[in-house]
Chains A and B, each alone.
Chain A
Amino acid sequence: MQHHPIRLVIGAVTLLMLSSVTFAQTSQPSGPPKAQAFDPHDLTGIWVRGKAPRGNAPLSGDRPPMTPWGQAKFSTVKGSFTYSRAPGIAPPIAPEKEWNDPMLQCEPAGYPRVMLQIFAPLMRFLQTSNEVVEFFEWGHTWRDIWTDGRQPIDNPEPTYYGYSVGRWDGETFVVDSNGFTDRTWTDPLGSPHSDQMTLHEVFRRVDHDHLELIVTLTDPKTYTKPWVSDKFLFDWAPKSPRSENEELREDFCIYSDQTYFFKNVDPVGASDAPVKNKDQ
């Protein structure tokens, strides 16, 4: 028996339609969606800072009073940001030609500032048998958080991202860090810190898609008491939303690009940008 080609096509289309209807019926979820399984001791993945506050913010608006040393250092800040959630926490915005933010000179953001910038608020965790590696998109850099049982060391060589030791306390990941250079600003507002700064961080993966972090900064040379951060919230992401590729973006500050921009586009910087001044 021979089948007419048109009948065969009609038959195939009908089968496809019926099978898709069946599939749609069987795949219909019933009841509320089930929470995705997760291991609270697994931080692996990419975490994107949430919106409130999303960036260009201090650890919190409740910054402790500064010591005379801290006040003297803070008085040199010529910044470009204010923070209306806590008026007075930042100095008045300086004229552009006076800005002295080290990041305008392509210096490393350092920690914790790298998490407080508006343009790159995300990190990626990778866990091995003896450390947790935290990668940052800005600067395409990372910090090592040692989890092999070692203790913090006294007076490590100063670095931009510090010396960090981590441990699990129940379902929280606790990180203690020291050994920070004092060349960075703590946040985009210019909040100072010294090389005596230590950080105590508590991470908690609350479900598959959400991670919390609270940072306590202690720096008796700069502040009269510890500075406890807001609770930072991060959303899990399958890839960086800021990269066309799968990898974290190579988000560098490139000095020649920075100079080109200020010379050619910025209407104020075209004549007197801080970057250009460095060339003269």
Chain B
Amino acid sequence: MKGILITFFALAAGLLIFSGPVVAHHGSQGYDFSKRITLKGTVARFVWANPHCQIYLDAKNDKGNVVNWAVELNNPGNLVRLGWTHAVLKGGDEVTLVFNPGREGKPVGICADVLFSDGRKLHSTQGCGAPEEPEG
């Protein structure tokens, strides 16, 4: 009986956690959500616009060639809710990005952390699958 009760409450808790809107985000089939990569580089451009803000980062690959990565973020309004501003990044800034990369070697990314040299950290929930946080 006790086991049945525990199973019941576990299922109920699971339902509560996982019920709600499910989003098929554009491009989601093109990202590798099993992998996180870390890149240090120079911001080439920071786009503050709908439908999603974007960081373009120039980073050297293992052969020493510079690759321009395009990393998508939440939209501007939801980034404000997460503590970002339109001026938090600019071209020429040296930062480290941690994100899920594109499949098939495409230099794109999603669900990004931005680490600044002074210890600050910003997070974008876009593509991270956290239903209670502002995604979009």
Contact = CB atoms under 8 A, between A and B. Distances in A.
B106 interface: yes
A261 B19 contact: no
B136 A119 contact: yes
A17 interface: no
A170 interface: no
Given A80-B26, A96-B29, A118-B136, A243 B21 contact: no
A241 interface: yes
A84 B22 CA distance: 7
B54 interface: yes
A49 to B, nearest CB: 11
A6 to B, nearest CB: 38
Contacts of B30: 266-268
Contacts of A99: 26
Interface stretch (A51-59, A144-152, A154-162, A215-223): A51-59
B36 to A, nearest CB: 16
Contacts of B38: none
B27 A258 contact: no
Interface in A73-107: 80-85, 93, 96, 99
Contact of B24 (A80, A242, A262, A269): A80
Contacts of A264: 54, 70
B90 interface: no
Interface string A257-274: 110111011111110010
B104 to A, nearest CB: 8
Interface residues of B, number: 39
B23 A81 contact: yes
Given A257-B50, A265-B52, A267-B30, A56 B23 contact: yes
Given A119-B75, A244-B80, A261-B52, A56 B26 contact: no
Interface of B: 18-31, 47, 49-52, 54, 70-72, 75-78, 80-81, 85-86, 102-103, 106, 108, 132, 134-136
12 contacts: A55-B136, A81-B22, A83-B22, A85-B20, A96-B24, A96-B26, A96-B29, A118-B21, A249-B77, A264-B70, A265-B108, A269-B26
Interface of A: 51, 53-57, 80-85, 93, 96, 99, 117-120, 137, 240-244, 249, 251-254, 257-258, 260-262, 264-270, 273
